[in-house]
Chain A
């Protein structure tokens, strides 16, 4: 079984409002799966269904080859976007309680907690109350609660909100380490740069429908426009421009460079890069030649505003 999670044609309605319209997803084992979409697209509804907080109206969910059922809660670690802890309860007790709810024995929970408190260097917090901690500190505790029971599938909803850059990096490294240990991570966020950095698969949900899904590279390949950024030093700019505008669509480009060269973005259409290169090398010194790959941000905006 190579997929940890399969979502098949899930429908969820609230009254007349359709939150999820036959959404299907496939999350491969060991992947970091970015679940993207604008606010109100249905991401949280889907995540809640996977967590068995709500039930779908129709469709089915397969977790690690089995139909989703109550015992699966212990295989899933969930960090919701709207999160919090009991303000007046001590950190240690609180974590033990939440871990026991996920099916850990008290002794096992304690062992895991000590491991994580050591690892994140927060040993001194055991007897503090949440109301004595800062927001970032409380977020760390939440992260620990989420991963304590060694879940196979981790679902993070906006995991970095509330963290300063130092702690965000710590958490990011922990997420990558968990993946190394074999966990699969579903990652819902609006921060495209972290998707770019972490995810190998993405899905985009918009207005209750899934629009895009696949390996990040495949998606990018699908969205690339076969255009290149070119830097060229030429004595005869007019001649060069004439030659390439005959065959290709040309626009200005903006990239950093040390030379004062001509910067162009060239749409290849059906031509190959070599055809362009031939023309360019005949008429000047090529200093920059890069295929323009769409960023996740571009893909997101392009899909959502279509």
Chain B
């Protein structure tokens, strides 16, 4: 067996046998699904119906509200216009209802605009107030139209709604919301790379520090080259990480499946709709779903997957050699913080750029630049690929990434080589620079 595969094997086994690795591997998906199920359960719980009293002295609006009462709505409006206002105000304190909408008499529709009050103990949600304002405003508009002797029906008929359908130059029809799916796919892969780099890069660093503090490193590098040791470590850790992700994916998928069966998440339309309507709705739904599926298949799946593999390898190796060099330079984890910051920054930056800039304009200048810079390209470019990136841009980006990767590995190996034999002091940036010349 060649020496480097010997090192890879040892690193892999050491990682996989580690108790915290085993615990993390089997616990985190449980935790994740548990949280998801809990959130799902909470949001599926029906909120209590809130009773809202309406004291409408004008008598103009109360019907608009009470007509909206139905079993499912969160708010139930009560017409209490005949009851004394003072008594109503007092009974808010008894909590027999959550709030009181007071609409006084007014001389003109203009008058109503600033006179209506909502009285409650707790401040209501903004959306609730906006809803009330909309109802009142539309009633006022209607009244104004009638007062002006305009035909409300004609106006209503004159209103138009526009639904623009998206079509690609190649002629196929697209579905709206596809951009969200695209950014979702790219974002998920980009985020995955970032998580992987942070978790397993740190693991590489810890493993280097462990060898250094246990002083075994001198024995090992009397048999192998420091470069071989570093690469073996990086690869071995990556394999352990991939195994963990693989297990997570399997556990996650099966738990999600089990959970959806258990909680009986209802996807079909509700029973109250008549069978014909239901059929029509179903047809429409399957039609849309088919279109989405067709669109998904039209995504550049091959280039997304190939891109993921390439950028994953490039990004992980690039960053983990930084991590290895840092591990070699310091004696313990606390000392590593000052050197870690410059590594975390570009990672964070690329996720932000990905989510804010790429969504708005996948082919804008900022997105293109960041998808070229090697430290950010693994994440940003992956987010852009689903939107279709010209081949020449990918070529430049990949070339830059791997060019940087090789030179960083070379630098990191130099720092590593000197650093692992330096005990007992925390180096400065200046010293790290000098190590490059040893």
Task: Give the B interface residue count (CB, 8 A).
Answer: 25
Complex interface: stretch among B144-152, B161-169, B216-224: B216-224
* CA gap between A292 and B122 in the complex, in Å: 104
Q: Please give the distance in Å from A123's CB to the nearest CB on chain B.
A: 23
Q: Which of B398-438 contact A (CB under 8 A)?
A: 417, 421, 423, 434, 437-438
A15 contact from B6, B10, B214, B434, Cβ within 8 A:
B434
Q: Are A101 and B3 in contact (CB under 8 A)?
A: yes
Which residues from chain A contact B224 at a C-beta distance below 8 Å? 73, 101
A48, CB-defined interface residue at 8 Å: yes
A85 contact from B3, B10, B214, Cβ within 8 A:
B214
* CA gap between A80 and B1 in the complex, in Å: 26
The residue in chain B whose Cβ has the minimal distance to the Cβ of A77 is: B222
Task: Give the A interface residue count (CB, 8 A).
Answer: 28
Q: Which of A133-164 contact B (CB under 8 A)?
A: 142, 145
A256, CB-defined interface residue at 8 Å: no
Q: Are A84 and B223 in contact (CB under 8 A)?
A: no
Q: Which residues of A contact B (CB under 8 A)?
A: 14-15, 48, 51-54, 70, 73-74, 76, 78, 80, 82-89, 97-98, 100-102, 142, 145
Q: Are A53 and B219 in contact (CB under 8 A)?
A: no
Q: Please give the distance in Å from B1's CB to the nearest CB on chain A.
A: 7
Q: Are B222 and A100 in contact (CB under 8 A)?
A: no
* CA gap between A98 and B222 in the complex, in Å: 10
B369, CB-defined interface residue at 8 Å: no
Which residues from chain B contact A85 at a C-beta distance below 8 Å? 214, 216, 219
B14, CB-defined interface residue at 8 Å: yes
Q: Are A83 and B218 in contact (CB under 8 A)?
A: yes
Which residues from chain A contact B115 at a C-beta distance below 8 Å? none
Which residues from chain A contact B417 at a C-beta distance below 8 Å? 54
Q: Are B216 and A86 in contact (CB under 8 A)?
A: yes
Pairs A–B under 8 Å by Cβ, sample size 23: A14-B438, A48-B421, A54-B417, A73-B222, A73-B224, A78-B218, A78-B219, A82-B215, A82-B218, A83-B215, A83-B218, A84-B216, A85-B214, A86-B211, A86-B216, A88-B14, A98-B219, A98-B220, A98-B223, A101-B220, A101-B224, A102-B223, A145-B219
* CA gap between A138 and B156 in the complex, in Å: 90
| Proximity bits, B201-229, A CB within 8 Å = 1, else 0 | 00000000011001110111111110000
Residues A101 and B6 in contact in the complex (CB < 8 Å), given A52-B222, A78-B222: yes
Q: Are A53 and B218 in contact (CB under 8 A)?
A: yes
* CA gap between A85 and B210 in the complex, in Å: 10
Residues A82 and B423 in contact in the complex (CB < 8 Å), given A53-B222, A98-B220, A101-B220: yes
Q: Which of B11-43 contact A (CB under 8 A)?
A: 14, 18
B6 contact from A54, A78, A100, Cβ within 8 A:
A100
Q: Please give the distance in Å from B221's CB to the nearest CB on chain A.
A: 5
Q: Which residues of B contact A (CB under 8 A)?
A: 1, 3, 6, 10, 14, 18, 210-211, 214-216, 218-225, 417, 421, 423, 434, 437-438
Q: Are A101 and B14 in contact (CB under 8 A)?
A: no
Q: Are B222 and A76 in contact (CB under 8 A)?
A: yes
Q: Please give the distance in Å from B232's CB to the nearest CB on chain A.
A: 11
Q: Please give the distance in Å from B415's CB to the nearest CB on chain A.
A: 14
* CA gap between A15 and B14 in the complex, in Å: 37
* CA gap between A246 and B423 in the complex, in Å: 59
Q: Are B434 and A73 in contact (CB under 8 A)?
A: no
Q: Are A53 and B221 in contact (CB under 8 A)?
A: yes
Q: Please give the distance in Å from A289's CB to the nearest CB on chain B.
A: 50
What is the count of residue pairs linking A and B with beta-carbon distances less than 8 angstroms? 64
Which residues from chain A contact B434 at a C-beta distance below 8 Å? 15
Q: Are B215 and A97 in contact (CB under 8 A)?
A: no
Q: Please give the distance in Å from B332's CB to the nearest CB on chain A.
A: 15
Which residues from chain A contact B421 at a C-beta distance below 8 Å? 48, 53-54
A97 contact from B10, B18, B438, Cβ within 8 A:
B10
The residue in chain B whose Cβ has the minimal distance to the Cβ of A97 is: B10
Q: Please give the distance in Å from B231's CB to the nearest CB on chain A.
A: 15
Which residues from chain A contact B210 at a C-beta distance below 8 Å? 86-87
Which residues from chain B contact A84 at a C-beta distance below 8 Å? 214-216
Which residues from chain B contact A83 at a C-beta distance below 8 Å? 215-216, 218-219
11 additional contacts (CB under 8 A) given A78-B222, A98-B223, A101-B6: A53-B218, A54-B417, A54-B421, A73-B222, A76-B222, A83-B219, A86-B210, A87-B214, A89-B14, A97-B10, A101-B220
Q: Please give the distance in Å from A109's CB to the nearest CB on chain B.
A: 11
The residue in chain A whose Cβ has the minimal distance to the Cβ of B223 is: A101
* CA gap between A145 and B223 in the complex, in Å: 12
* CA gap between A78 and B216 in the complex, in Å: 12
* CA gap between A51 and B225 in the complex, in Å: 11
Residues A51 and B222 in contact in the complex (CB < 8 Å), given A14-B438, A82-B215, A84-B215: yes
Interface centre among B6, B10, B210, B224 (most CB of A within 10 A): B10
The residue in chain A whose Cβ has the minimal distance to the Cβ of B13 is: A93
Q: Please give the distance in Å from B437's CB to the nearest CB on chain A.
A: 8
Which residues from chain B contact A74 at a C-beta distance below 8 Å? 223
* CA gap between A54 and B214 in the complex, in Å: 20
* CA gap between A222 and B216 in the complex, in Å: 41
Q: Please give the distance in Å from A48's CB to the nearest CB on chain B.
A: 7
Which residues from chain B contact A100 at a C-beta distance below 8 Å? 1, 6
Which residues from chain B contact A53 at a C-beta distance below 8 Å? 218, 221-222, 421
Which residues from chain B contact A73 at a C-beta distance below 8 Å? 222-224
Which residues from chain A contact B215 at a C-beta distance below 8 Å? 80, 82-84
Q: Are A80 and B222 in contact (CB under 8 A)?
A: yes
Which residues from chain B contact A51 at a C-beta distance below 8 Å? 222
* CA gap between A3 and B294 in the complex, in Å: 78
Which residues from chain B contact A70 at a C-beta distance below 8 Å? 225
Q: Are A86 and B219 in contact (CB under 8 A)?
A: no
Q: Please give the distance in Å from B279's CB to the nearest CB on chain A.
A: 64
Q: Please give the distance in Å from B85's CB to the nearest CB on chain A.
A: 77
Q: Please give the distance in Å from B409's CB to the nearest CB on chain A.
A: 19
Q: Give the 10 A-B CB pairs with smallest separation, nearest first.
A: A84-B215, A84-B214, A101-B223, A80-B218, A51-B222, A78-B222, A82-B215, A84-B216, A73-B223, A53-B221
* CA gap between A100 and B434 in the complex, in Å: 34
Which residues from chain B contact A88 at a C-beta distance below 8 Å? 14, 18
Which residues from chain A contact B219 at a C-beta distance below 8 Å? 78, 80, 83, 85, 98, 142, 145
* CA gap between A14 and B438 in the complex, in Å: 6
The residue in chain B whose Cβ has the minimal distance to the Cβ of A70 is: B225
Which residues from chain B contact A102 at a C-beta distance below 8 Å? 223
* CA gap between A15 and B434 in the complex, in Å: 7
Which residues from chain B contact A14 at a C-beta distance below 8 Å? 438
* CA gap between A52 and B223 in the complex, in Å: 9
Which residues from chain B contact A101 at a C-beta distance below 8 Å? 3, 6, 220, 223-224
